Structure 1
Amino acid sequence: MFARAHLLRAHNLKRGMKMKRLALVAAIVSTMFFSFASGAFAQADLQPLAVVKLNKSESITLKQLRTRVELYQKQNNNQAFSVEQKKQILESMIDEKLIIQSAQKSGLSLTETQVNKVFLQQLSMQVGRQVSEAEFAEIIKSQTNLSLDDFMKKTVGMSVAEYKTHLKNQIIIRQYVESMYKDEIGGATATDAEIRNFYDLNKASFVQNDMAKIFLVVVPKGNDVEAARSKANKMLNDLKDKKLSYESIKANATADKTYQGGDLLIQKSVQHAQQLGMSAADLNELFGKSVGFISNLTETKNDFQFYAVRQKYPAKMLSISDVVQPDTTITVYEYIKQNLSSQKQGEAFLAALNKFAKSLDTPENVDRKKTGDALDKLLNW
């Protein structure tokens, strides 16, 4: 289960594995250095299990292995790991250090700016919009009353600085392996037969629910409720009188900043009703309106709103040539191709990683301090 090819989480192939792949790339899922309880086992925890010395001498201690195992146990519902599984986790940690040291020896490096850019992309994905580190810290503080450092330690076992170091290693490893095996990885794409076979086997999954494109305008009340009401009413009346267009309202919202206006594609579902702050009955009423309908002004606790129905799309089974979503250009065929190709490239990347790690794992590069029964005894906790 924990073979070398399981070193990365970047491509979760969803094969029903009982345990997640060992991580190096992408999600905030792995850890390398955080403190563990000491006590009677402190001295034993500090003894090295292996020393990686391809470029420099780096030890992997029992303490570090305990840390990694504990994290994976948390990620897998506190599932207890066997001695054999712990040994395989140790092997993956050796592989990590081998590849990182090889990349460093080749001169591959990243700047702090490059690492921070990827870090902010990850934070922004969590929020759903572009945020700075300071903005994310404010969100975490307001929602959890924790500092960003404490939040990171609680969720991923590392401080911000430690995680950025970890992230830097992940990026270096990916770039390094992909540069050496770019033809094998890049050439792994789905064939026409594979795409059509996947569609035929999963045809029932490609269904478009009843959908509608609405133009929603939201004017926050702010500190002057009547001014907000007046602004919303004027836009509503000007839109009805054709003094304003949808495009002008949307364009002005970018500069104005005191309201939001734009198109939304919504489904006829309970989930979308909740997202819009509507009851199921209200959503049904919306879907009953004709294209071109413009609602009255609605007051909520925090804002004033109105909407217009711009287009409606009936529910249907999607053919392989249909677009996945209205008002887009990606067809079901292209969508399947992208996903299958991504999966195949993930498999090719893991195969390349496995191959490369094996080539580096020599007695000159790795000194395994504990093996056989002695290692089994240490890992029997």
Structure 2
Amino acid sequence: MGQRAVVIVIVLALAVGSSFFFYSKQAGAPQPATGSQQNSAASFGLDKQAENPEPLKIDFNAIPDIIAEIDGVPIGKAGYVLALKGFQRSARKFGAKVDKEAFQKVKKDIIASIISRETFLHEASKENIKADEAVVAEKLAQVKAGFPDQKIFQNALKEQGLTEDFLKKEIVKAVIIQSLVEKNILSAINITDEALRNYYDLNQLEFEKEEMIQAAHILARADAKSSPEEKKKARERIGEIKRKLNEGADFGKLASTESDDKAAAANKGDLGTFSKGQMVEEFSKAAFSLEPGEISDIVETQFGYHLIKVTKKVPAKVVPFEEAKDSIKAKLTQKITGEKIREYIKRLKKEFNVKVMV
């Protein structure tokens, strides 16, 4: 993700409530895990569903009308209340028990985010930085494109107690901050080829790519919930498919019509390219023992019975410097940008004599 996009995403999330931007379409089928995955409730400081979760209670009347002061300008509580209500809705939606300590941290983070944003906007106003309407329109279109259709987009806004006009105003603020950061921070960042080479030489393990393969499979599902009789039938069915393949049947066609993995079946059984650690051990061991064009014997995993066909092998290699150069630059730019932004906001807060009142 480019630095301009990073700035916009961060500001939007802070401005109108993170849960609105975490919306995503549900997949038609389970996807293979490629690492530990966090549930979105956990990322909000919420525990998993409790048997009798207590509703999150927030005394909004106890929040002072003015939550901060920046350069003598009072900051009202509206944005803070909006963010807290968004968090409250998320807690209710997940039916989750809220950890008090985690909630205190959430409140502290919200306040810090609001103050940072308002401090940036105050400085931008002093520098007479305006939002480019074309950029605002583009960013609004990008947000809308993250939803399957307009109706779902409007429902998501309504669920968060927002309007499209409010969202557009928040995007205007985000674009102003983006322009401020580009002018005063990004424009001054210059990473030399020597720095890129030094990073590459000192972090060689990062550029070692393990062996990968591209493979397709046919699945006769028989998982832990299946009865012995169901497992027997699945084993017999995959055996019959294997017999057809031995007689010359087309693997892709059979995968499309016979496999219980419907997501892969839609693409003739293709699973794409993967490394050993991305698949369960039994599947991976069998797949990596094959040469391109070969079809495995029946392989049993926790999901059922598989037939695997390897279509391509990608040998292990060390990514050369010229190929890795752009990704190194993006990584270092992001790191330096984060450091510079923290230094910049610290300086501005001191300059504007920021006072927090909650």
1:336 and 1:213, CA in 2 relative to 1: closer, same or farther beyond 3 A? same
Question: How far is 1:165 from its partner?
Answer: 4.5
1:100 and 1:160, CA in 2 relative to 1: closer, same or farther beyond 3 A? farther
Match of 2:330 among 338, 341, 346: 338
1:30 aligns with 2:14: yes
Instruction: Encode CA deviations 1:57-115: one digit per residue, 9 max, x unaligned.
Output: x85135755777997x99994466999x9997675253144257579974643688534
1:61 aligns with 2:80: no
1:46 aligns with 2:48: no
Equivalent pairs counted in the alignment come to 279
1:260 and 1:81, CA in 2 relative to 1: closer, same or farther beyond 3 A? closer
CA distance, structure 1, for counterparts of residue 180 and residue 308 of structure 2: 50
Which amino acid is 1:176 matched to? S
CA distance, structure 1, for counterparts of residue 131 and residue 274 of structure 2: 50
Question: How far is 1:177 from its partner?
Answer: 2.1
Contact 2:136/2:175, CA 8 A, preserved across alignment? no
CA distance, structure 1, for counterparts of residue 99 and residue 146 of structure 2: 21
| Identical-residue share of aligned pairs (%) | 15
SS at match of 1:119: helix
Which amino acid is 1:203 matched to? Q
Match of 1:118 in 2: 142
SS at match of 1:30: helix
Match of 2:279 in 1: 273
Contact 1:189/1:342, CA 8 A, preserved across alignment? no
Match of 1:365 in 2: none
1:189 and 1:28, CA in 2 relative to 1: closer, same or farther beyond 3 A? same
Match of 1:161 in 2: 163
CA distance, structure 1, for counterparts of residue 64 and residue 104 of structure 2: 22
1:95 aligns with 2:119: yes
TM-score (norm 1): 0.49
Unaligned runs of 5+ in 1: 1-7, 12-22, 124-130, 138-146, 153-157, 221-228, 250-256, 275-279, 322-329, 363-367
Which amino acid is 1:109 matched to? E
1:308 aligns with 2:309: yes
Question: How far is 1:286 from its partner?
Answer: 1.3
SS at match of 2:290: coil
Which amino acid is 2:294 matched to? F
CA distance, structure 1, for counterparts of residue 298 and residue 75 of structure 2: 65
TM-score (norm 2): 0.51
SS at match of 1:293: coil
1:99 and 1:301, CA in 2 relative to 1: closer, same or farther beyond 3 A? same
1:76 and 1:113, CA in 2 relative to 1: closer, same or farther beyond 3 A? farther
Instruction: Encode CA deviations 1:350-369: one digit per residue, 9 max, x unaligned.
Output: 677788x68x969xxxxx8x
Written as runs of structure 1 = structure 2, the 5 A alignment for 1:1-381 is 25-26=9-10, 29-31=13-15, 37-38=58-59, 42=62, 45-47=64-66, 49-50=68-69, 59-61=74-76, 64=79, 77-78=102-103, 91-98=115-122, 106=130, 108-109=132-133, 114-120=138-144, 131-132=148-149, 148=156, 158-159=160-161, 161=163, 164-165=167-168, 167-169=170-172, 171-177=174-180, 180-181=183-184, 185-186=186-187, 188-215=189-216, 259-261=266-268, 262=270, 264-269=272-277, 272-274=278-280, 280-295=281-296, 307-315=308-316, 318=318, 320-321=320-321, 331-347=323-339, 378-379=357-358
Root-mean-square deviation (CA), in Å? 6.1
Contact 1:212/1:310, CA 8 A, preserved across alignment? yes
Contact 1:215/1:310, CA 8 A, preserved across alignment? yes
CA distance, structure 1, for counterparts of residue 135 and residue 100 of structure 2: 31
